[in-house]
Amino acid sequence: MNKLVVLTGAGMSAESGIRTFRDSDGLWEEYNVMDVCTPEAWQRDPELVNRFYNERRKQLYEAQPNAGHYGLAELEKDFDVRIITQNIDDLHERAGSTKVLHLHGELKKVRSSRNPDLIYDLDGWELKLGTKAEDGSILRPHIVWFGESVPNIEPAIDLVQQADILVIIGTSLAVYPAASLLHYAPAGCRILLIDPKIPESVKNSKIEFIEKGASEGVQILKEKLKNK
């Protein structure tokens, strides 16, 4: 069974109503990203950062997977599908995808602020500031913030190096190290990119482009994979 590796970014979840800072001048739901998405912000104003992620979580509980998420899950019938996502939502899992690697953390999880391996599922959308992990440190969002290392980048590289087909959906290919994953695709790997705006950096490459949003693009992808 061919190994189909899918890298998804913010555009994957946009049709589910989850906004991103990529399309709004560096503001995420009217927050400046650097005020809520850095370790320094957490040190400076944990109440603001905590409120921001509580709001994101509440929004996620109200969101539903879109047709693109469901379409990728259905591909597991015909391919060994591995999803690498830059997104912190759980919409891939809720749509039925069984092998999902989160590069930038998971919104519905929290972790020790001292030990990044001490991770907990959060019950409900609200993390009460000051709640402690079993090591005595304050729980923080299980998110990779700007300036922090990306622990799952090595497993992601391994997956891309094994791909027969690589599909990139809804990412500007501007956020590193995730954007570098494209360069690890083996020779002979078929690469397809789904996005209504094709990044300038890859326009002259051998990538097959589907200039559509995630839901429509995944349906076209399924037809392309079926016919070739």
Q: And the tokens for 119?
A: 């991770």
Active-site pick, 69, 102, 104, 142: 104
- Across-strand partners of 84? 7, 101
Which residues contribute to the annotated binding site for substrate?
A: 53, 56
- For the question of residue 104 being annotated catalytic, the response is yes
Q: Which amino acid is at 74?
A: E
Which residues contribute to the annotated binding site?
A: 9-28, 53, 56, 86-89, 170-172, 214
Q: And the tokens for 8?
A: 């998804």
Question: By C-alpha distance, which of 62, 63, 43 is closest to 140?
Answer: 43
Contact 7, 178 (CB under 8 A): yes
Antiparallel, parallel or unpaired: β 27-28 and 31-32: antiparallel
- Across-strand partners of 119? 111
- Across-strand partners of 171? none
Residues with a catalytic annotation lie at 104
